[in-house]
Amino acid sequence: MAAALQVLPRLARAPLHPFLWGGPVARLASSMALAEQAQQLFESAVGAVLPGPMLHRTLSLDPGGRQLKVRDRSFQLKQNLYLVGFGKAVLGMAAAAEELLGQHLVQGVISIPKGIRAAMERAGKQEMLLKPHSRVQVFEGAQDNLPDRDALRAALAIQQLAEGLTADDLLLVLISGGGSALLPAPIPPVTLEEKQTLTKLLAARGATIQELNTIRKTLSQLKGGGLAQAAYPAQVVSLILSDVVGDPVEVIASGPTVASSHNVQDCLHILNRYGLRAALPRSVKTVLSRADSDPHGPHTCGHVLNVIIGSNVLALAEAQQQAEALGYQAVVLSAAMQGDVKSVAQFYGLLAHVARTRLTPFMAGASVEEDAQLHELAAELQIPDLQLEKALETMAQGRGPVCLLAGGEPTVQLQGSGKGGRNQELALRVGAEFRRWPLGPIDVLFLSGGTDGQDGPTEAAGAWVTPELASEAAAEGLDMATFLAHNDSHTFFCRLQGGVHLLHTGMTGTNVMDTHLLFLRPCMSIGTGYKVPGKSKIGELGTGAEGLAAMSRRDSSIVYVIWQKTMCSRVVGFYLKESISGRWICAEKLCASGDLREGEKEGRGPELEPVGPWCSLTEAESDLLASGTRQAPAGNVMYEEHDEAQAAVKEDWFDPRGKVSPVQTLHLGSGSSPSTFQPAASTPTNTGTCEGHSPPMVPLLPPSNPIAAARSEAGSEPWTPGLGIHSSLQGQAIPGSPAPAHPGHPQKPGSWAGTEPASSRPALSLAANWPPLCPPLLLTPRAPEAGTSLLLLLPGAEKLASHSPHLPAPQGYSPLCLCPQIPKAHLSGAVSSPEALQCGNCPEEPVLS
């Protein structure tokens, strides 16, 4: 006991890590499923970069309508305005330009992706469509983003228009991503087919867009400044929506109005790198051999103004704002995510793992090596603006759920002939990475989507995954590795659960690269269970109510803490912790949906909708958790084998309510401290759907885990922690009086009446009056004797704050001495605050007597 005496004051003073979920979490609690939130954020990102608004921000007419203003430059208008455009966002850009400048426009030609007009019409996006008798001629082509005959016809029409201009004319060039494929004009004798083959090969071998477009420019009449040269001596104003990291105007759509700074040596170098030099068609060799003597020199572009009107930075900023409004700590990791898709996936997988340990510091952390590995990976990816430290710091602040956002364009090296896209492949790879790293009781979701709405040659914009992906796939007999080996991510996601993981937006009419969203949401609720000696299985598993009842019985000796991993109301995994030894037991597939229906029959109150599949511990997680159960500490009854624990748990009775976030979680009431807290008159009820649900409960154990600290410092285990007080006891009679029927819950006869040890009484009494969802943690000595004090760790205001935006900033847990001299009256039903449990002589810091 002496050791404990030394520990306690320290415990009391320990700067407990606040686990704060601020006010906005209440909004988060509107309980949209994570996937819905992810899709909503993705859509908001896309919405922020729609072409019309961006064009209007850059262009204006002077009041007299004589001058066109482009940022701070002015151009004279005198029936001299022409327009050309090419790219995935150009239809909307042209519509906005026509809206503004229609009366001045003499003629226009645009080249846009096949089907985009019909898609916009179907979606009712009038603002993206040209007027019925528009002066702008539209060509649709480049099916699946590959240059074709239609695109070639468009390119020729654009070239013709440009070549016909005079020094009095002004050519407005609208450029966006996808422009290269939509403006193919190979230099003879290179044919369209030869150019197509070469670019396809380069892309498939993982060439970056910079490399790809260096080659394209050299083989094209219009790229690399060729269009500007064709329009000379007319004035040229290019409005560019960037889809390339860093917004390099010479790369976007292969820079048709920017002089190329590359030479033939650069091209040969690239072709060598991808093993394509030897097999080059003769025509390509011919053009390359002529290229250096006929460059599109810089002098040809002095008449050009190139202006970037938008990029994915804008999209990320909007999504960040939306994420914050949903209650997330949102950090933009980078707007320049690039590199091989495998490395990028590894980065996100490891980041989620490291992040998890920062968000749930009371659990085993990532090792120093893993941290270093993450930084190494980041360095290898050479992401110029990566905000990794900021992201990690944000998590370590423990202010609740985190959303990391990134933009960019990783590269895929095609090995197979499957159907997929960069985003779906990345998502699938990240899903596979999640399996490698134990993520613990935390909701994780990764989404990758192309802002153009079309990922590779597929109908989908991208996909989202969670750590459950591997088990979900296995349940449907889908082998992720095989699909990855064939670059068949789209087929994989189509087959998995009827395609629910796919992101479908249809063509968006814009294009600013890809968006990656990584959501990390601590999502545990907690309960206690117990082991009755002499029985071969866990007696009951459930919420704190059952745990308390169990602890109040002399014959129960071990409290288990059950972490439930939930996504919305759906429980996807369970973790049991033997709370004295701190060892984990994995309770995979703790229950099946059939059990729930069983519970329903028995009328045990609000039920979850059965929503399998139920378990999702990855193999790695299971192994890790199960391995902790092998060495049971002496004196504790432990399951030796993971399987046995699982079997026991499965057989057993449990209360499905324990698997749902409690119902009383939103707008619970207000008050400046636990003692003045006023529960709201009514609380939302569990409808069994996502609506009206709270965020999952916050953990009962304080994040910095004083128990572990006590244990390691004391070198012994004097405490029985984990006796949580659960809100479901609220309003119940306290021990000593006849046990009331728990609403919707069959009371076990005699489970707590009169048999509880003295040490449990304050907790039970307090529980009877404690505001919901404010469960204190009671530490009782292992062998409570008369006259023993207890240590009560009160979550205090912080827990309340997490559920009520009106409450002040939390101060952390406050330890409180509950001394045995508490008037008996206080233990018989009238206790309304922790203070009432003090005798008046209690020292400020708890002391064990």
Ligand X SMILES: Nc1ncnc2c1ncn2[C@@H]1O[C@H](COP(=O)(O)OP(=O)(O)OP(=O)(O)O)[C@@H](O)[C@H]1O
Residues near ligand DGY (CB under 6 A), total: 11
Identify the residue among 169, 425, 468, 717 touching ligand X (CB under 6 A).
425
Can you tell me the distance from the alpha carbon of 487 to that of 418, in angstroms, rounded to the nearest whole number? Answer: 5
Nearest residue (CB) to ligand X, 421 versus 762: 421
Residues near ligand X (CB under 6 A), total: 23
Chain Cα centroid distance, residue 588 = 24
- Decide: is 214 part of the binding site for ligand DGY (CB under 6 A): no
Nearest residue (CB) to ligand DGY, 203 versus 590: 203
Identify the residue among 129, 161, 203, 267 touching ligand X (CB under 6 A).
203
338 by DSSP, 3-state: which?
coil
Q: CA triplet 55, 56, 62: central angle to 5 degrees? A: 125
Q: Which of 619, 546, 636 is nearest to 583 (CA)?
A: 636
Q: How far is the CB of 342 from ligand DGY (least distance, A)?
A: 22
559 by DSSP, 3-state: which?
strand
- Decide: is 247 part of the binding site for ligand X (CB under 6 A): no
Contact between residue 308 and residue 250 where contact means Cβ atoms under 8 Å apart: no
Identify the residue among 179, 449, 456, 775 touching ligand DGY (CB under 6 A).
179
Q: CA triplet 50, 52, 57: central angle to 5 degrees? A: 105
Identify the residue among 29, 90, 101, 252 touching ligand DGY (CB under 6 A).
252
Characterize the bridge pairing of strands 136-141 and 105-113: parallel
- Decide: is 267 part of the binding site for ligand DGY (CB under 6 A): no
Instruction: List, edge to edge, every strand of the sheet that includes 136-141.
Output: 136-141, 105-113, 81-86, 170-176, 235-241, 304-310
Nearest residue (CB) to ligand DGY, 31 versus 213: 213
- Decide: is 455 part of the binding site for ligand X (CB under 6 A): yes
Single-letter amino acid code for the residue at 75: F
Contact between residue 173 and residue 93 where contact means Cβ atoms under 8 Å apart: no
Identify the residue among 407, 418, 462, 674 touching ligand X (CB under 6 A).
418
For residue 639, give every residue at least 6 positions away whose Cβ sits within 8 Å of its Cβ, in sequence order, or none: 585, 629, 632, 645, 648
Subset of residues 469 to 508 that bind ligand DGY, contact rule: CB under 6 A: none
- Decide: is 727 part of the binding site for ligand X (CB under 6 A): no
Q: Which stretch binds ligand X (CB under 6 A): 296-304, 418-426, 669-677, 827-835?
A: 418-426
Q: Which stretch binds ligand DGY (CB under 6 A): 250-258, 531-539, 578-586, 673-681?
A: 250-258
Q: How far is the CB of 284 from ligand X (least distance, A)?
A: 21
Identify the residue among 215, 253, 351, 697 touching ligand DGY (CB under 6 A).
253
- Decide: is 180 part of the binding site for ligand DGY (CB under 6 A): yes
Residue sitting closest to ligand DGY (CB)? 180
Identify the residue among 88, 195, 342, 521 touching ligand X (CB under 6 A).
88
Q: How far is the CB of 572 from ligand DGY (least distance, A)?
A: 38
List own/partner pairs for 269-275 with CB under 8 A and 24 or more apart: 270/202, 270/207, 270/211, 270/214, 270/215, 271/215, 273/207, 273/211, 274/201, 274/202, 274/205, 274/206, 274/207, 274/211, 275/205
Can you tell me the distance from the alpha carbon of 663 to that of 740, in angstroms, rounded to the nearest whole number? Answer: 20
631 by DSSP, 3-state: which?
coil
- Decide: is 147 part of the binding site for ligand X (CB under 6 A): no
- Decide: is 184 part of the binding site for ligand DGY (CB under 6 A): no
Contact between residue 463 and residue 497 where contact means Cβ atoms under 8 Å apart: no
- Decide: is 151 part of the binding site for ligand DGY (CB under 6 A): no
Query: What DSSP state is assigned to residue 745?
Result: B
- Decide: is 420 part of the binding site for ligand X (CB under 6 A): yes
Subset of residues 473 to 532 that bind ligand X, contact rule: CB under 6 A: 487, 489, 511
Q: Which of 102, 117, 92 is nearest to 309 (CA)?
A: 92
Residue 637, φ and ψ in degrees, nearest 5: -85, 120
Identify the residue among 254, 346, 616, 665 touching ligand DGY (CB under 6 A).
254
Nearest residue (CB) to ligand DGY, 213 versus 564: 213
Identify the residue among 140, 194, 243, 468 touching ligand DGY (CB under 6 A).
243
For residue 390, give every residue at least 6 positions away whose Cβ sits within 8 Å of its Cβ, in sequence order, or none: 331
Instruction: Note the residues at the interface with ligand DGY (CB under 6 A).
Output: 177-180, 209, 213, 243-244, 252-254
Residue ranges that bind ligand X, judged by CB under 6 A: 88, 145, 177-178, 181, 203, 243, 412, 414, 418-422, 425, 450, 452, 454-456, 487, 489, 511
